[in-house]
Structure 1
Amino acid sequence: KIIVNARGMVAANMNPPLFFDYGGSFYPQGIIGDQIMYFNHEDIKKVIFKGYSDDDDKLMVDNINEWFEKSEFEKGNTLEIKKARSGLNG
């Protein structure tokens, strides 16, 4: 299981830096050191629990989406990254 810890993440450790919808960590361990998983909405297969949400939450999502549309960052593709990494290791 993965818990969402953050939204609108730029993975600066990638070249070029890429935008992802979410940053998360394993449940129940949480964030350990600087380890965070980057993923997008389409990578989520099943939502087990959705926490508190209100008008401020919707406003934040709208602001993140507007910022991304105006930014020069490309959206990361987890499948492409996984394929590229497995090619390097294989």
Structure 2
Amino acid sequence: MAENKLLPIGSIVLLEGGSKKLMIYGRKQIVVSNNPKMFDYIGVFYPEGYIDQEYTFAFNHSDIENIIFEGYQDEEETEFQHVLDEAIMD
């Protein structure tokens, strides 16, 4: 996988030091707090899915220890990856 390519929606990952799998359901997410910060992904526990905001996790690609499953990819995903690449380059 290209270094700056983000995983598709539906991908299942295990974070470094984690014991519970997460499913990615969003990319390039801004977490608003005292100091807003952008993360590569937002995910929820797998297989449970969304429980509530308390069980939603923002993380970066560098936090991933193991990619268990790569989500669905088609031409729309490929086009979206190009949009993301352009945004990263700017």
Q: Smaller-chain TM-score range?
A: 0.5 to 0.7
Structure 1 residue 22 corresponds to structure 2 residue 41: yes
1:48 equivalent among 68, 71, 80:
68
Larger relative CO (CA 8 A, sep 6+): 1 or 2?
2
Q: Please say which structure displays the higher CA radius of gyration.
A: 1
Secondary structure of the structure 2 residue equivalent to 1:46? strand
More strand by share: 2
Alignment of 1:1-90 (within 5 A): 1-12=21-32, 14-35=33-54, 36-67=56-87
Alpha-carbon distance in structure 1 between the residues aligned to 2:35 and 2:29 = 14
Normalised TM-score (structure 2): 0.64
Unaligned runs of 5+ in 2: 1-20
- Give the CA deviation at 1:65: 4.5
Distance 1:64 1:15, change over 3 A: farther
Unaligned runs of 5+ in 1: 71-90
- Give the CA deviation at 1:67: 3.8
- Give the CA deviation at 1:69: 5.7
Show CA shifts across 1:17-67 (max 9, x none): 111110001111111122310011111111111121022112223323544
Root mean square deviation, CA, Å: 1.8
More helix by share: 1
Distance 1:32 1:56, change over 3 A: same
- The total of aligned residue pairs comes to 69
- Give the CA deviation at 1:15: 2.0
**Identity, % of aligned positions:** 35
Normalised TM-score (structure 1): 0.64
- Structure 1 runs of 4+ off > 3 angstroms? 64-70
